[in-house]
Structure 1
Amino acid sequence: MLPENSELPVVQFLNVTKKIGSKTIIDNLTLDIPRGRVFGFLGPNGSGKTTTIRMLVGLMSITSGDILIEGQNIRTHFEEAIAKVGAIVENPEMYKYMSGYQNLMQYARMSPGVDKQRISDVVQFVGLGHRIYDKVSTYSLGMRQRLGVAQALLHRPRLLVLDEPTNGLDPQGIRELRDYLRALSREEGTTVFVSSHLLSEMELMCDTVAVINGGRLVDVRHLDASAATADTTGAKMMVRFETDQPALAAQLGGGGQISGSSWTVAADRQDIARLNALLVNNGIAVYSITPIRETLEDQFLAMTREGERHE
């Protein structure tokens, strides 16, 4: 048994390949999922996200390579590995003629150690206390999604796996789900592995994203650190100076782009201070200085285009 404070990743994909006939669906995927984070698995439709998740939870065989959950190989120790996982692959399946509470009780009977107090705790956590005794047939899609998350959390999994969980949800349902998942990671230390093709939602929901395209891992980005990168390191970003003399600003600053009254140039923290002083000392009025950060959409499109060029 691994110690709970082990630094071992919750999930390790080790050279995982999946072939169906002559077609390679997943190509030599190696990826670590660190514990206690909301980890996004991002890619366009048909990129291999659901295939990867199906292999992770044992719904599809692996052609070659290994997947370890808390150090347990799902090929050789499947029951021990999957006991640490809660998952919703595609849509949560419920008995619609039963109440939400009855559905959770039914699942609890199959999960040792789940008592009524645990059921009550997860119901309150996902915000279904006011409707838990109503029939599932009366639930909205967002409520059914929350009930599915509650069911997946009953046995206190180390890893929660969600495949495209925001599909079909309205904006309020998406925001609620996002808040629950982030709270789950913070408050219970559960690792959340969530797949999606919705860039804006992944940017708001996740600490880290892995990008997959054509069955290949393209890149891994740490979103929680990205906003502070230019402030804590020497990395440069694009900065827009709004001035009364943008052409002169570009001449003094050594280049950049001019658009209307703005001058945009690559700069780090020290550069910004130096350039601001340079402009002011030369009689140029500086009205604003705005860092221009790449969105996840910008990064994703750049990464997938780069991956396509290498195919």
Structure 2
Amino acid sequence: MQEPLVRLMGVTKVISSKTLVQDLTLDIPAGQVFGFLGPNGAGKTTTIRMMVGLMSITKGDILIGGYSIRKDYEKASSLIGAIVENPEMYKFLSGYKNLIHYARMMPNITEERIREVIELVGLTERIHDKVGTYSLGMRQRLGVAQALLHRPKLLILDEPTNGLDPQGIRELRDYLRALSREEGTTVFVSSHLLSEMELMCDTVGIIQKGKLIDVRQLRTDEGERSFEETAFEVHDIERAVQLLEVVQYRVHGNRVIIRGDRDIVAEVNAEFVRAGVKVYGIQPITTSLEDQFLEMTGSERHD
């Protein structure tokens, strides 16, 4: 089994006797888009600051590609590209010159790689214009390009959709999903836009009052939306229920609702057919990420 690219192991942050993050333990596999959600002040940005080395860890450790942020910071940080809050750019320079300037601080970044990331984030036509003329969405994309120059294995983005219009948000979402699929980059993204996270992420972790309260898979390994419950409309409820001894289920009218993944759905359907139970319909029941989030965190506002 492949080692997770990111491991947070009992990570705790205490400032002036106030615990901001408590015993946070989390594994993130390579090549995933992982969403980090939580109400205002839950500890998202504190966690990200510890991951990139901008804030010390009180207790625990963070491993990136097997390297400890605490003990082997240079090797761990070389695998990370990040935008924490707003990307900082020289507005009087063109987008291209900003990337050249940044590339000089990093080893082995070729002209070809610079052109590659410009194309990847869709800035080819405007790259020689001054950054001062860019929209916020274009500056965000240039920030992503800058963070990707050294081919990081992990891209960390803190609220990357802040201030973007719907088209900019959609473009950024498409770039991040393409990045994980085509370059195998792991993307760790925090955001308050739950509907966007649902479209963008493979898995989400939910943090509240500094504690991780849940991790949910939104997509299967094949990239398809995962669902937890499926409704079977059948002609004989009693017989159907007798066949579900090892499967979690509930009954609603003439429908039996089972809990499980696609394989379990296929097995249950085959069992019904073999036993002569007529199946009139099969329907996945999906609850939105927002519903799940509010259910777990109560009615607190999310940031």
* Same fold (TM > 0.5): yes
* Pairwise CA distance, 1:23: 1.2
Counterpart of 1:213 in structure 2 is: 208
Kindly report which structure 2 residues correspond to 1:172-187, keeping only aligned pairs within 5 A, or say none: 172-187=167-182
* Pairwise CA distance, 1:88: 0.1
Instruction: Please say if 1:194 is aligned against 2:182.
Output: no
Asked if 2 retains the 8 angstrom alpha-carbon contact of 1:250 and 1:257, the reply is no
Distance 2:257 2:6 in 1: 38
User: Of the candidates 47, 51, 57, which is equivalent to residue 56 of structure 1?
Assistant: 51
TM-score (norm 1): 0.81
Distance 1:22 1:125 in 2: 45
Amino acid at match of 1:167: N
Where does the alignment leave 5 or more consecutive residues of structure 2 unmatched? 242-249, 260-264
Kindly report which structure 2 residues correspond to 1:92-131, keeping only aligned pairs within 5 A, or say none: 92-131=87-126
* Pairwise CA distance, 1:128: 0.2
- Rate the CA distance shift 1:274–1:70 in 2: closer, same or farther, 3 A: closer
Asked if 1 retains the 8 angstrom alpha-carbon contact of 2:230 and 2:282, the reply is no
Distance 2:239 2:69 in 1: 61
- Rate the CA distance shift 1:125–1:27 in 2: closer, same or farther, 3 A: same
Where does the alignment leave 5 or more consecutive residues of structure 1 unmatched? 1-5, 231-236, 281-285, 307-311
Instruction: Please say if 1:239 is aligned against 2:227.
Output: no
* Pairwise CA distance, 1:251: 9.9
Distance 2:295 2:45 in 1: 23
Deviations 1:106-143 (A, max 9, x none): 00000110121111010011000000000001000100
User: Of the candidates 82, 91, 96, which is equivalent to residue 87 of structure 1?
Assistant: 82
Distance 2:49 2:151 in 1: 21
User: Of the candidates 294, 297, 301, which is equivalent to residue 304 of structure 1?
Assistant: 297
Asked if 1 retains the 8 angstrom alpha-carbon contact of 2:218 and 2:226, the reply is no
Instruction: Please say if 1:15 is aligned against 2:10.
Output: yes
Counterpart of 2:142 in structure 1 is: 147
RMSD, aligned α-carbons: 2.7
Kindly report which structure 2 residues correspond to 1:266-305, keeping only aligned pairs within 5 A, or say none: 266-267=257-258, 269=265, 270=268, 290-305=283-298
User: Of the candidates 62, 66, 70, which is equivalent to residue 67 of structure 1?
Assistant: 62
- Rate the CA distance shift 1:292–1:98 in 2: closer, same or farther, 3 A: same
After the TM superposition, list the runs of 4 or more consecutive aligned residues in structure 1 that deviate by more than 6 angstroms.
248-255, 277-280
Counterpart of 1:171 in structure 2 is: 166
Comparing 141-150 and 219-228, the one that deviates more: 219-228
* Pairwise CA distance, 1:60: 0.8
Distance 1:126 1:46 in 2: 31
Deviations 1:24-53 (A, max 9, x none): 100000111111111111112211110000
Comparing 176-185 and 7-16, the one that deviates more: 7-16
Distance 2:118 2:147 in 1: 12
Amino acid at match of 1:66: D
Asked if 1 retains the 8 angstrom alpha-carbon contact of 2:24 and 2:211, the reply is yes
- Rate the CA distance shift 1:109–1:297 in 2: closer, same or farther, 3 A: same
Q: In structure 1, the residue corresponding to 2:170 is in which secondary structure?
A: helix
Asked if 1 retains the 8 angstrom alpha-carbon contact of 2:82 and 2:156, the reply is yes
Q: In structure 1, the residue corresponding to 2:91 is in which secondary structure?
A: coil
**Larger Rg over CA atoms:** 1
Q: In structure 1, the residue corresponding to 2:219 is in which secondary structure?
A: helix
Q: In structure 2, the residue corresponding to 1:224 is in which secondary structure?
A: coil
Q: In structure 1, the residue corresponding to 2:113 is in which secondary structure?
A: helix
TM-score (norm 2): 0.83
Counterpart of 1:76 in structure 2 is: 71
Distance 1:272 1:31 in 2: 37
Counterpart of 1:42 in structure 2 is: 37
Instruction: Please say if 1:157 is aligned against 2:133.
Output: no
Asked if 2 retains the 8 angstrom alpha-carbon contact of 1:240 and 1:292, the reply is no
- Rate the CA distance shift 1:227–1:264 in 2: closer, same or farther, 3 A: farther
Deviations 1:169-219 (A, max 9, x none): 111101100110111111111111111122111111111111111110111
- Rate the CA distance shift 1:279–1:191 in 2: closer, same or farther, 3 A: closer
Comparing 292-301 and 103-112, the one that deviates more: 292-301
Counterpart of 2:247 in structure 1 is: none
Amino acid at match of 1:168: G
Flag the structure with higher helix content: 1
Instruction: Please say if 1:134 is aligned against 2:129.
Output: yes
